[in-house]
Structures are given as structure tokens and as C-alpha cells.
A and B are shown apart, each in its own frame.
Chain A
């Protein structure tokens, strides 16, 4: 098996997929670092202070003012309300949720990338893992070796898991080192709060507890990894089912983007919570942002994602081992 996995890793590496991903991440992180830097500067200019409490207070006031204008959607209102209460909680406990520093940037980057950017990177690797062998015809050589089909597919899946781990490491590494050049590399032991539960427009703080940032970041990376694996598995399944890599990409992209759109407007369509794409923002449960549909929790979302992932994996293996190759 290790030989097979090595083969698959060789192919992924030699297709230069991983380098493309490293380059994309580097460019994007640099871009976001600059944007964040500009934002911090603008904030300081506007408020004339570097005191985070004043800044946070101002954000609260801004949110309150927005809440009081009538032309605001219910979803947005709820979101603002929850965030506002959370910000107030942070203020009251004298904890700065956005103290500048590379770890903070990392955390925010992961939170923003988890539902679209990271899955996209995973797709770059996963989409053609099987379909390229089918469209290139090499599948015929691959399956006429004295190796069971299941083992061939398993080696590909393991290679996918490894690639996902590698991609996430790249993201963590680059976001830390690139942003650190601007914001400094400190802040691993900064305390953060987790355990907020959004209930309607209220924020339940009964389970709130403190986490050092390093732990917080590690938790978020673990969740991001989980999400990436589920998305990767689904892409993998499509890659088995569909010969054309472009079609795999198209279907997955449509699903992910529709998920991002749906999350903003499904609060009244309750059964939508069983769709995998509205459950991708797992880090929101850690930071305490209101879920898109009421009643969704971390456990629920993880279960939904796990079920989708396992189903996709089962379908992949059944189809791949049974299918006739023409």
C-alpha cells in the first residue's frame, strides 16, 4: 500500500498541483495582509487612537446604529445583534478579540476561508484524481496490475488526505509568516472566548470559556481540515463518477457557491440544514456567530458533514470496484 500511495503522491507532485496551491495561497495571504493592514490603519486614523477598546466600542456603536435603521434584512439584523452582544461580552471581560499579530490574522483567515477558499484549493487536487486517469486512459494500465481495485482507489484517497493535510499546513505556514512580517509574530497566548451559543437574537454565554489563541487556532485548523476532507471526499466521488475533470469542478463549484448564497437566505427553509454546503462554516460555532438556520449546532453540522462524506466514500468505492472500464 505504501508503494501505491507513493505513486499517487508522485503524480500529484509532478502535476505541480501543490506548487500551484502554494503560489495561490501566498498571493492571497499577501493580499489579505495588505487589506487588513489598511483597515487597521484606517480605523486608527478615524478614531485617533490605537486603543482596541475604543475601536471595539466604536464598532458596537456602528452596529447599533445600523440595527436602528429600518432598511435591514432580518438575517443581517440577527447576525449584527449576535455579533454585537459578543463584542460587548469581550469588552466587558477586557479581552481583545482582534489583537494584531500573525496568529490573529491566521485565525481570521481560516474563518473566512473555510467555506469557499479552502474547499477550492482541495478541489484543485481532488477533482482530477480519478477522472484524469479515466480521460487520459491510464486507468486501463492502473487496473490491470495485480492490485485490487479497492486498493488502487484507497491509495488515491489516502494521497488525497495527505494532500489536504499538506494544503492546510501551507495555509497555516504562509498565513503566519507572511502576515507576521506586518503584524508581528506574537500573540499565541492571547486569551480568546468560545462557547457562545446564538439562540435567536439572544446570545447564551453560559458555556463561555477562555482559550489561549494557539489552542483556538489549532481547533479551527482541525475543523478546517475536517471540512476540507468532506469536500475533498465529495469531489473525489464526483471524480470517480464523472470522466471530465471540468465537469467535476463545475458541479463542486456550483454546490459551494450555492452554499455560500443559501447560508444568507435559508433561515426560513429549515430542511436546508441537511445540505452539506450550508454546514461548512464550522468555525462560526467556535467564535459564536449565529448559524444560518436556527437549531444548527457544531455537533449537528459535523454529523451532517460526516454522513455526506461517508456516503460519498461508500459510493466511490462501490462504483469504482464494480464499474466496467470502456
Chain B
């Protein structure tokens, strides 16, 4: 089944004061998927997201939303996007309902029923007529999402949606995002610097660092490649030379060598080590996590 791409980003660049912040990134969002945007603070996630919603003008590149070019057909393109950029900042002196009415008035043809609908969707019925200044952060987050969903967008962009939520809130949010993608067929772009979160709710992940996209792939794929074996060996140098001839060595953690996990070859490699007189204290397959991949891709250990 081929799902339509709702958001296409091509070679996006942004230069601020002669410094290139975003160095040409491209990716696509498909209907009904949750797309994770992963990267350390300062990687350029927020800048990219702001370009996606038209707050920042790209220096070069193209963003198209449901076939509309964001720059040239701004109103048509942005109509299909719902977003929360950073914190869900709403007008604290208005009630939740008035906030929604306020934003509804900025889009053509949003009936009152739609407001009721989104309020029920995010479960804010009881407090919707209270002033936003009395809301907890979780409630504001939900109101923010309600606001983003008002215009029935095809693409939902959420910047750090679980920021500041308690564990229960985070779980709820995760469930909600999956629900939106699976049931409502939205494309959801979620940015986060928390790997565990992305791993748990995203279909595909883009890993970003220093203004470039290092990898874009499904979570399963990424994790599959990720299987590792840790060798606790002595002497290290000799073992390294032997293993390097057989496979690639990712890195060295103290007295431990890390290599790819290839179950069928493990015994062969081990034999070679033992024959060469290397003491093998421990062979440990490591659980695949995005964290390792991430650290590797972003060069978490190497210093540039």
C-alpha cells in the first residue's frame, strides 16, 4: 500500500548571520505515520520546525504541504498544518473556549461544533470555560493540541510535546498521538531530545545533528542494525587486531571492544581469539537501543 506524502521537504537550508544553521535537509512525511525528529539541543530541530510552519523563511529549499508550496501559497499550505511550537502558549486572560474561538475565527468555516469536537477529543470539557491562567501544564498542552486540530489539519507538528508532563501525562500523550495517526490518519511530526519517547511512539525517525539529517529510517530498521556484541578481552590490542580483520570495530569502552552482532560468526571469531592466546572474559550481546545508534551517529564520543 502506498501512502501519500503529506509533507515534503527538499534541500532545506537556513543561514543566519553567515552561519549555516540548517545545511540542506530533505525528508517526507506520509499519511498516518508518526515521524520522530530526534537530535540533541542545538541540532536545529526547532529551527527546522519553525521553517515548516512558516515562522522562519528558509534561505534555500522547498517545503510543500499537501501539494502547496509553503512560501508561494502560504495560506493554502498552512491550512493543512496544525502545530505547537515549543510550549503551548495561549492567551492566559481568556478562557480555553475563548482561545479556541479566537483561533477558529482566523480560519474560514470552522463551525462551533468543531470546537466542541476537539474539546472532547482532548478531554477538556470540564474546564474549558475557565481562564487559561488557571490551567496546569498538562491541560495547556491538551488545549494546545485542541487548537492545532481545529482546522482539521493533515499534518500535525508537535515540538517537544511531552516536555514538562508527568509520567502519566507522557503516557497519555503518547497514546493520543498514536490514536491521531492511526485513527484519524494524520501525519504527525514529533520532535524530541528524549530517545525513549521517540522509540515508543514513532514509525520513522530522523536523526539530526549540527544542522544535517544523519539518518532517516523506520525504527525497526534502525534497531536491527543496532545489535552489538561487547567483548571483554585481554590483551586489548591483540584482540583488536584480530577482530578488525574479521569485522568492524565500532568503539572501545575501557577494556571492552564493541562489534556488530552476527550470531553465526560469533563462535568463529571467539575461536580465533582464543587460538591467538587472547583471554576472553565475557561475550555479551547488547540490547538494541536507539540511544546507541544516536550516540554513534552524532559522534557522542568523538570530539570534533
- Which A residues form the contact surface with B (CB < 8 A)? 3-4, 6-7, 10-11, 14-15, 136-138, 140-148, 322, 324-326
Contacts and interface: CB of A to CB of B under 8 A. Distances in A.
B81 interface: yes
A143 B55 CA distance: 7
Nearest to A4: B106
B56 interface: yes
B83 interface: yes
A148 B75 contact: yes
Contacts of B86: 137, 140
13 contacts: A7-B105, A10-B98, A15-B93, A137-B87, A138-B91, A140-B55, A144-B55, A144-B78, A144-B83, A144-B85, A322-B57, A324-B56, A325-B50
Interface in B9-49: 16
A144 B53 contact: yes
Given A141-B147, A144-B83, A145-B78, A4 B105 contact: yes
Given A7-B106, A144-B83, A14 B89 contact: no
Interface in B179-219: none
Contacts of A325: 50, 55-56
B94 to A, nearest CB: 6
Consensus secondary structure, chain B interface? loop
A146 B106 contact: yes
Contacts of A143: 54-55
Nearest to B57: A324
Contact of A141 (B57, B74, B89): B89
B55 A138 contact: no
Given A15-B93, A136-B89, A137-B89, 15 more contacts: A6-B105, A10-B102, A136-B92, A138-B89, A138-B91, A140-B86, A141-B90, A141-B147, A144-B53, A144-B81, A145-B107, A146-B74, A146-B106, A147-B75, A325-B56
A198 to B, nearest CB: 48
A6 B101 CA distance: 11
Nearest to A2: B105
A322 B108 CA distance: 24
Contacts of A14: 91, 93-94, 98
Nearest to B53: A144
Interface residues of B, number: 32
A141 B91 CA distance: 10
B103 interface: yes
A326 B21 CA distance: 13
A148 B71 CA distance: 11
Nearest to B76: A146
B54 A147 contact: no
A6 B79 CA distance: 21
A146 B56 contact: no
Contacts of A6: 105
Contacts of B78: 144-146
B151 interface: yes
Contacts of A146: 74-76, 78-79, 106-108, 151
B50 A326 contact: yes
The 8 closest A-B pairs by CB, nearest first: A137-B89, A145-B106, A3-B105, A146-B79, A325-B55, A324-B56, A146-B75, A144-B53
B50 to A, nearest CB: 7
Nearest to A16: B93
B82 to A, nearest CB: 8
A6 B98 CA distance: 12
Interface string B103-124: 1011110000000000000000
Contacts of A7: 102, 105-106
B91 to A, nearest CB: 6
Nearest to B94: A14
Q: Identify which of A10, A146, A147 gathers the most chain B CB atoms within 10 Å of its CB.
A: A146
B105 A144 contact: no
A4 to B, nearest CB: 7
B171 to A, nearest CB: 26
Contact of B91 (A11, A145, A326): A11
Contacts of B106: 3-4, 7, 142, 145-147
A107 to B, nearest CB: 37
Contacts of B54: 143-144
Contacts of B151: 146
Given A14-B94, A325-B50, A145 B56 contact: no
Interface in B212-251: none
A314 B57 CA distance: 20
Nearest to B55: A325
A20 to B, nearest CB: 13
Nearest to A322: B57
A160 B267 CA distance: 78
Interface string B244-276: 000000000000000000000000000000000
B102 to A, nearest CB: 5
Query: Among B57, B78, B79, which residue has the most Cβ atoms of chain A within 10 A?
Result: B78
B152 to A, nearest CB: 12
